[in-house]
Amino acid sequence: MKFLDQVKIYVKAGNGGDGSPSFRREKFIEYGGPDGGDGGSGGSVILKAERNLNTLIDYRYQQHHKAKRGDNGSGQKRTGKSGDDLILKVPLGTQVFEEDNKTLIYDFVKVGERFIVASGGKGGLGNIRFKSSTNRAPKKFTKGTLGEEFVIWLQLKTIADIGIIGLPNAGKSSLLAAITNANPKIANYQFTTLNPNLGVANYDNKEITIADIPGLVEGAHKGTGLGIQFLKHIERCKSLLHMIDITDKDLRKSYKQIKNELKNYSSKISKKKELVVLNKTDLIDDNEIKKIIKDFSKYIKSEVMTLTTFEKKSVSKIKAKLISYAS
C-alpha cells in the first residue's frame, strides 16, 4: 500500500427531513385534525481513529464524503427515519485542520476516539406541532435544516514509542523486521525505505510500538530528500533509536549529521531520550569493535549498544533495552 500523510477532503452532513403538513383523512371523520409527523435528523460525518491504519491513501481517491439526509415526516404522526452517520476511519495520530491547513481542529491520540467533523441537520416539525386551542387546523410545518459542510485537511503524524533514525542503509528496516511483526522492504542499497513503517514488539509481557523512519540526508530539515515530510513523524515518538553502520569511516560525522538535522528542524526533537546502536558488528572482529566503542563513546552522552540482526541474542538485548526507553 502506498503511503500518504496529508490529504484535502470535502465532508457534508445530511440535511434534516421536512416536517409533514398532513391532515387525517378517514371515513366518517369529516374534519380530521392535523397528523403530520416530524422529519428525521440528517446523518453526521464522524472521524474515528484506528490503530491498524498507517496511511491516508484511501482519501486520495475518494475526496467527497456525504452522510445521508433524514426522511421527511408523514401522516399518522409518523416521524421520518434519521439518516445514518458516516464514519470515516483515520490512522492514530491524524490531525484535522481547517481549509487553511493551519488551524488545528482536532488531534487523534487515542485508539477509538471519535470526532464529529460535520453535524447533521435537524428534522423539520410536522403541522401537529402547531396545533393549539386557537388554531385547530394548522397548515404550518417547517423544513429540515441543512447539514454542515466543510473542506478540511487531514495530516498524519506517526505516534510510536520508539522512532528509529539514521542515515540511509544503516540497517533500520532490518532491525524493525527482526524485533516486530512488520515486513518492511529490505535491500543492500540506500533509500530502500521510502515511507515510515510501523511495527509492534513484545517482550516480557510488554508491548511497544516502533517506527522506522526513512534515512535522513544532509539538508533534510530544509526538505532535501523529502526530509521535512519524514522528520515530522519523529515529533511524537517518546524516544529515539539512532542507528549507525559501524563500518562507516567516520562514526562521529555520521552521528553529528543526523543530530544537526534534528536540531535544525526542532530543538525539542533533538533533546529526546536517545539510544545509539552501532549495527552490522558481524562485519568486523571483536577487538576492533571494542576499540571503536571506546573511541566513539568519548564524544557522545547517549548510551551506546552494538547489534547484528543475524544473532538472536543481540536482537533480544536491544528489544529488552527499548522497553525501558518506551516507558
Least confident of 152-156, 208-212, 299-303: 208-212
Residue 267 has pLDDT above 90, yes or no: no
Tell me the pairing of strands 149-156 and 104-107: unpaired
pTM for the full model?
A: 0.76
Confidence band of 249 (pLDDT split at 50, 70, 90):
confident
Residue 9 has pLDDT above 60, yes or no: yes
pLDDT of residue 184: 43
pLDDT of residue 167: 84
CA–CA gap between residue 153 and residue 165 (Å, rounded):
27
Higher pLDDT, 161 or 181: 161
Inter-residue contact 74 to 165 (CB < 8 Å) = no
Set out the domains of the chain in order of their start, with CATH numbers: 1-156 (2.70.210.12), 162-326 (3.40.50.300)
pLDDT digits (tens, 9 = 90+) for 49-72: 998 887 888 898 899 999 999 999
SS3 292: helix
Confidence band of 182 (pLDDT split at 50, 70, 90):
low
Q: What percent of the chain has pLDDT over 70?
A: 89
